[in-house]
Amino acid sequence: MSLLDSEAAFKKRVIEIGDEMLFQTLDNSGLKTFSGLAFACGTPQSQPDDTAFGTFAAGVFGAPPTLGQLSQLRRLHFEACTIVFATLKSNVAGDLSDGIRKLPPAEKQARAKDQQTRLTGITLSGEMEPSYALVDKCASMRETGSLLWIHPSQCTKREQEVQQTLKEKSQVLKIENMTLKMAADTETFEADHGTELKLMWCFQRRGLAFDQAALISWDKHESCVPAMFQAYSAEPPPSFAKVTMPQLLRADKELFTILAREVETIQPDTVGHRPLDDAIARLKTDPRVTMHLIPLPTKAHSVEASNAAKPDNARPKAKTRPGKRARAATEVKMPDELKGGHSKTVDNKPICWAFNMKDGCSAKTFGNPVRCSKGIHVCEEQPPTQQQTEPRSPRQSDEGLHRAAKQPENLFANLTEGTEWKDFLIVEIFAGTARLSRAFAKRDFRVSSVDHTTKRSTGLITILDLTKEEDLNFLLDFLKAELNVLVYIHLAPPCGTASAARGTPVPGCPPEMQPDVGKLLDKRNAFFKKWTSRAKELSSKEKDLHNSLDPEIAKVFKGKRLLLFEEILTEIGFPDRNLVRDICAGFRITGWLRDSMIFPHRSKPPQYSVEALMRLSKGISRSIFKSVNSEEASVCLGLWWSSFFDDFPTLTASSVADQCKAHVHLLFDLLGLDFARDGDKAGFFGESFKALGLLIDLSEFSAGLVRIGHTESRRQELLSQIEMHLEQNCLKPKDAERLRGRLQWYDTFLFGRIANYSMSMISKRAISCSLSGSLDPPLRRALQFLKERVLVSQPVQLTKAAGKTYFIFTDGAVEPSDDGTSMLASVGGILYNADGVAEAFFSEQVPKLILDMFLKYSSHPIFEVELLAVLVAAHVWAQALTNTYVVIYIDNEAAKSALMKSHSSVLFGNVLTTCFAQIEFEHSLKVWFRRVPSYSNPADKPSRFEIQQLLDADSALVKPSWDQILLLIEMKEQTL
């Protein structure tokens, strides 16, 4: 509640200006808030004249007022109007410093007084008096309608708040509304919740704050607290630890998370009923909450794990790196905060204690699973029951399937005897041998195993072929029926089914183009017949709607059948039921937007004030906000088309092209949309057509090839602009900025990144302060290169045939020679196929002539050597990798970034990246760059001439032609 609608704040201010009698006079007239007074006489926008105000005052006092009474009433009315303006400005701009709408102090005092009267037996003082900040946080939730979990550390008391505000606040510089100003630093303070009693006080203060905000009643909130502390104080079973305070916090957090997810409206209704009261009474015993209050085992029983069969494909431990000293293990006392937990995983690996403590671990992490020098970063309360394996090839590092556990029996290695769970259901899909189902059955779970065959299992298998729609629907219906007792679904990799499904042909046409042409046309005709008749019925209502619209909005939507559009959206089940109403009202560009029911729900405060938004408003049109607020509202007509604002490319079979065009026109006419029927903007069906300024060629569509390029007119226009700058020998920064924008759009639909360096030269001129704009040699060469690229550029080609995928790992090394008088450099690289097999590799020392080039500009040229390794890989394997997909792994972040941008701030960085871009372009390599940690890079060994392991694996050793590489580098050096 804001100051505008607070009765307590109004009463306090009236008594300050006048007296108790003045307040009673206004109260008897029904004026109890500032908002009521502001609109009782005139409006805040239109102030009343003296005559009107005198009449109003006489009505309030019941007689002609005295000058003193008139002065008091006029002052109150002026303040009320000012508060109205300030409140509206705050709501529109959303400029809250801390994102919390604060209650007026008088309103807080009135609510606390009313609460003290209602809650007999509770004294709201000391530990039981919530701070104003806590009350504001709860009240803000009611205003915004968004429930948040409040951590006990934020449940501060009023006494602590008063003492905190007595401290002198330091002055800091802040930026507010694009203005630099000096302001007091924000002081933060937390409530102590380190003991059971203090934690309970925090919960109770939070309950009182929620009660004051009229979100959750005190008794409903308080009913949850004893239940949690009863679980905390209960004696655990043998070999189990007591419930800890972190478990209480997790249960409390889970409760509010479920409340926020399941309660749609948290504000009380008109009769004062609070939705959260019913929900919290229902959910406080929900298993999702109470599961966090279950005692955990103090010691894992690993008998089954130790007796479990060792996997056939268990890998030996990797050899430790030479030169690393093994550290002796010492006995260290576990911190009190972690007492009752575990110090090691089930496979006897140390667990990082700092990671499990409140402040966390700040040490450097590495590896998979993530660990630091102290141990693995996992939860210490219960040892992990799964073991992640390393991928067996580079391809599997991204998308391969990995074994989740060594054996199904290991999943239960740490379970202990407890309550029987006979009613819970476990479903294993693609069960195979169904060993997991048997393991669950031993623990008295209900199990159901599903597979397409029973050959591999001796148990009971439900035979379902999930490639068939009816079998899949049967499984889904079964899961829905057992939803209340279903606790776990295990889907193994469907090896057999997936192998068989590879031979199933995938439809080449979308569903809209598969039905018989006659049936498709009949469906479209029926649609237009139905809605054309409905449009006539709605004509009078459409007219009334347009008359009621704002004049500016009515001008935009003149002739549009909005009600018909709304009914069509309702019939096709469009999620945003309020889209047409938003269109009629005009889309808000400030403040809060409602939930469209399409995008994930997420609250985000406004980023700009109204004034700042007005300064940024150039180029923003209503259609942009419309596209952000709504999904494509498509009508099922069997038309295969897409949309981009005002362009609607449509694809159809040549036999029904005329009918398709007619139906598109009918739909636009039915909705009242204006479109180009003839001229350059009118579309026509053909194998080659223009859309969005591009030329799309479908002449070889049947062969699986689509070309997307630029129109001849756009190409000639860009050529003319480049030639003009070359002839005038001038390119001013403003012209460079415009040319760069056009070239970036043009280059988007050309293959390769070969033009990136030349584009960077134009970017430098665009941000320079050159007044003459004359062309220096590098810039002239860049313009000349871009001109030739525009002339000979080929359109982007989309093919249905996907090329093979390869993985290349490269590495470079720079070290002093044995005598320390010179530097030596070496490069290495390995080519892996999609199966993770190393097909070839190189291991070379960098020629002295090339290394000397690098040493002219850098005393330790590791950056250049890393780039050289990638260039060597491209040079030796480019011919074999033509028209393939290549992922190149580098362990140097700067080199990776330079290759991605195809230019660098270092001279030879530009030379090497440009050489690589040229090879990439000439051989149509589709390259993706990724970084690999140095200790995981397999190319580290060949870069240091350790190649015996690769030779033993029958990998081919290739030799690069250093003469050709040197010639390519020298040529590029001369042109840059």
User: Which one-letter DSSP state was computed for residue 299?
Assistant: S
Asked whether the predicted pLDDT for residue 319 surpasses 70, the reply is: no
Sign of CA dihedral 386, 392, 398, 402: negative
Residues paired with 174 in a beta bridge: 181
Q: 810: closest CA among 936, 943, 960, 912?
A: 943
Ordered DSSP codes for 851-880 = HHHHHTT-SS-HHHHHHHHHHHHHHHHTTT
> CA angle, corner 923, sides to 918 and 924, nearest 5?
95
Average pLDDT for 336-358: 76
Q: 660: closest CA among 673, 649, 647?
A: 649
Buried b / exposed e along 667-688 (16+ C-beta atoms within 10 A): beebbbeeeeeeeeeebeeeee
Average pLDDT for 16-22: 81
* Confidence (pLDDT) at 324: 37
Phi, psi (rounded to 5 degrees) for 326: -75, 130
Q: 14: closest CA among 77, 103, 87?
A: 77
Query: Residues 461, 434: contact at Cβ < 8 Å?
Result: yes
* DSSP alpha helix (H) spans, 213-336: 218-222, 224-233, 245-262, 275-283, 287-290, 303-307
Residue 651, SS3 per DSSP: strand
- For tokens 């449509």, what's the residue? 650
**CB-facing half-sphere around the CA of 974: CA atoms within 13 A:** 6
Pairing of strands 650-651, 371-372: unpaired
- For tokens 């259609």, what's the residue? 623
Alpha-carbon span 859 to 814, nearest angstrom:
10
* Confidence (pLDDT) at 838: 93
If one counts every other C-beta atom within 10 angstroms of the C-beta of residue 806, the result is: 21
**Torsion of Cα atoms, 165 then 171 then 177 then 180, to 10°:** 170
Sign of CA dihedral 153, 156, 162, 165: positive
Alpha carbon 972 to its chain centroid, in Å, reads 42
Q: Which amino acid is at 304?
A: E
Rg (alpha carbons) of the chain, rounded to whole number: 37
* Confidence (pLDDT) at 310: 44
Q: Which residues contact residue 20 at a Cβ distance below 8 angstroms, ignoring those fewer than 6 apart?
A: none
In 801-869 the beta strands, taken as DSSP E runs, fall at: 805-816, 823-832, 838-845
Residue 796, SS3 per DSSP: strand
If one counts every other C-beta atom within 10 angstroms of the C-beta of residue 576, the result is: 19
Alpha-carbon span 454 to 462, nearest angstrom:
8
Query: Residues 124, 112: contact at Cβ < 8 Å?
Result: yes
* Confidence (pLDDT) at 296: 85
* Region for 426 from its dihedrals, namely left if φ exceeds 0, alpha if ψ lies in -120 to 50, beta otherwise: beta
Query: Residues 242, 236: contact at Cβ < 8 Å?
Result: yes
Whether omega for the bond prior to residue 369 falls within 30 degrees of 0, making it cis, is: yes
Q: Where are the domains of the chain?
A: 3-93, 105-293, 419-499, 513-665, 708-798, 802-975
* Confidence (pLDDT) at 943: 94
Residue 487, SS3 per DSSP: strand
Q: Which residues contact residue 377 at a Cβ distance below 8 angstroms, ignoring those fewer than 6 apart?
A: 352, 355, 361, 365, 369, 370, 371
Average pLDDT for 323-336: 52
* Confidence (pLDDT) at 185: 54
Q: Which tens digits make up the pLDDT trace of 233-284?
A: 888 887 788 888 899 999 999 999 999 888 888 888 877 888 899 888 888 8
Q: 12: closest CA among 34, 30, 29?
A: 34
Q: 434: closest CA among 454, 418, 416?
A: 454
Pairing of strands 375-376, 371-372: antiparallel
Residue 235, SS3 per DSSP: coil
How far apart, in Å, do the first and last CA atoms of the chain sit? 66
Least confident of 65-79, 141-155, 613-627, 783-797: 613-627
Residues paired with 710 in a beta bridge: 694
Alpha-carbon span 408 to 410, nearest angstrom:
5
If one counts every other C-beta atom within 10 angstroms of the C-beta of residue 241, the result is: 16
Confidence class for position 405, pLDDT limits 50, 70, 90 = very low
* Confidence (pLDDT) at 99: 53
Average pLDDT for 55-84: 80
* Confidence (pLDDT) at 814: 92
Whole-angstrom CA distances from 561 to 180, 541, 812 are: 50, 10, 67
* Confidence (pLDDT) at 633: 47
* Confidence (pLDDT) at 641: 61
* Confidence (pLDDT) at 821: 78
* Confidence (pLDDT) at 612: 67
Percent of the chain topping pLDDT 90: 14
User: Which one-letter DSSP state was computed for residue 337?
Assistant: G
Buried b / exposed e along 876-897 (16+ C-beta atoms within 10 A): bbbeebeebbbbbbbbbebbbe
Best CATH choice for the domain 419-499 from the list 1.10.1740.10, 3.40.50.720, 3.40.50.20, 1.20.210.10: 3.40.50.20
| 523 vs 341, more confident | 523
Q: Which residues contact residue 963 at a Cβ distance below 8 angstroms, ignoring those fewer than 6 apart?
A: none
Sign of CA dihedral 667, 669, 671, 674: positive
419-499 shares its CATH topology with 802-975: no
Name the strands in the sheet holding 425-429, side by side, starting at the edge strand that comes first in the sequence.
Answer: 462-463, 446-451, 425-429, 486-491
User: Which one-letter DSSP state was computed for residue 589?
Assistant: -
Token output for 755: 């033009």
* Confidence (pLDDT) at 802: 59
Asked whether the predicted pLDDT for residue 839 surpasses 90, the reply is: yes
Pairing of strands 425-429, 486-491: parallel
Pairing of strands 926-931, 885-890: parallel
Query: Residues 758, 786: contact at Cβ < 8 Å?
Result: yes
- For tokens 């102290």, what's the residue? 374
**Torsion of Cα atoms, 406 then 409 then 413 then 419, to 10°:** 150
Q: 408: closest CA among 383, 371, 441, 380?
A: 441
- For residue 792, count CB atoms less than 10 angstroms from its CB and return exposed for 0-12, middle for 13-18, buried for 19 or more: exposed
Average pLDDT for 544-570: 88
- For tokens 């934020």, what's the residue? 154
Alpha-carbon span 594 to 603, nearest angstrom:
10
Phi, psi (rounded to 5 degrees) for 517: -60, -40
Query: Quick one: which H or E segment has residue 931?
Result: strand 926-931
* Confidence (pLDDT) at 407: 47
**Highest-confidence range of 39-48, 372-381, 470-479, 751-760, by mean pLDDT?**
470-479
Alpha-carbon span 718 to 749, nearest angstrom:
14
- For tokens 């180029």, what's the residue? 619
Pairing of strands 823-832, 446-451: unpaired
If one counts every other C-beta atom within 10 angstroms of the C-beta of residue 331, the result is: 4
Best CATH choice for the domain 802-975 from the list 3.30.420.10, 2.30.30.90, 3.40.190.10, 3.20.20.120: 3.30.420.10
Q: 648: closest CA among 615, 618, 673?
A: 673
Q: Which tens digits make up the pLDDT trace of 170-186?
A: 555 555 555 556 555 55
Averaged pLDDT of the chain: 78
Asked whether the predicted pLDDT for residue 343 surpasses 80, the reply is: no
Alpha-carbon span 834 to 841, nearest angstrom:
16
Query: Residues 834, 804: contact at Cβ < 8 Å?
Result: yes
* Confidence (pLDDT) at 402: 45
- For tokens 């999702």, what's the residue? 288
Q: 436: closest CA among 412, 420, 453?
A: 412
Query: Quick one: which H or E segment has residue 927?
Result: strand 926-931
